[in-house]
Structure 1
Amino acid sequence: MKTLLASFVIALTLGTSTSFAKNEPIVTNNSFQSVVYPSAESTKLNVIVDSKSNNSLLVRLLTTDGNELATQRIVKSKRATHVRFDLINLQDGVYKVEITDGEKKEIKEITLSTTVPTPSTYRTIALQ
């Protein structure tokens, strides 16, 4: 019984997952291409930006009110740049990822929602 209870507590503690409401497609404009997607561990948000201009890019994580939670500046490079935001301390809700080069701006919405896994029943067979 203690093993079952301990397994249940561990599953509730470690087993929560965060899901994203939308999986945004690649968006193309004249200055840059970008894609936003969750990582496999579901607490990180990945942003990949491929700049075609000589301008630096600014990638920001915002609340729906426009409050800035995190910022990453990307200097001009000839290859795609990967930015990762850690969402572990954010509460469930709607957030925005804003990518801009000073002229063009893309805004992508993400929704964080946490689900608690259902407990599993384990049965042990002992032979004597």
Structure 2
Amino acid sequence: MKTLIKSLALALSISILTSVTSFSEAKPIGRPVVVASYQAGIYTCVDGKLNIALDKQTGGAVDVRLKNSDGSVLYSKHLGKNESKYRTRLNLNDLPDGIYQVEITNGVETTTHNVTISTQEPETPSRLVALN
């Protein structure tokens, strides 16, 4: 009788351990429950501003970040699950020359757009015309 109870207790504890493990794998930590698909348009203006237009489905969150080449975040915006449109214009005139990244993510998919800022030095004319 003792061996029957011990084997039954062992089988019960293994089945409980297996079911707990399978439940924890079904929904991993850190993954969003609902993923929103999105479409983004990024373009620059002559006056040195970066325009970001984002349309997304409701039900999931999307994050927009502007990072420099070191990876530090210069701008961040979190769009909640009930928002569907986002438009912004970022002023890049105060940033030093370099390569920046606009990163848009919904938690599963990440889209990265590179933005290069370079200042052109004025050219001196190669020919001079004088009038007397």
**Are the counterparts in 2 of residues 72 and 83 from structure 1 also a CA contact under 8 Å?**
no
Say if 2:40 is the partner of 1:40.
no
Q: TM-score, normalised by structure 1?
A: 0.61
Confirm or deny that 1:85 pairs with 2:90. Answer: yes
What is the CA deviation profile of residues 48-103 of structure 1, one whole-angstrom value per residue up to 9, with x for unaligned ones? Answer: 1110241121110001221111112223334x311222212211110000011122
Q: Which runs of 5+ in 1 are unaligned?
A: 1-29, 124-128
Q: Which runs of 4+ in 1 moved over 4 A?
A: 118-121
Question: Of the two structures, which has the highest relative contact order with CA contacts closer than 8 Å and spacing of 6 or more?
Answer: 1
Q: How does 1:87-126 map to 2 (within 5 A)?
A: 87-118=92-123
**Other-structure match for 1:72:** 77
CA contact (8 A) 2:58 2:83 kept: no
Identity %: 31
The structure with the largest helix share of the pair is 2
List per-residue Cα deviations over 1:11-46 (Å, max 9, x = no partner).
xxxxxxxxxxxxxxxxxxx7100111112312x111
Corresponding pairs, count: 94
Compared CA separation, residues 35 and 107, structure 1 to 2 (3 A): same
In structure 2, the gaps of 5 or more residues are 1-35
The structure that is strand-richer by fraction is 1
Greater Rg over alpha carbons, structure: 2
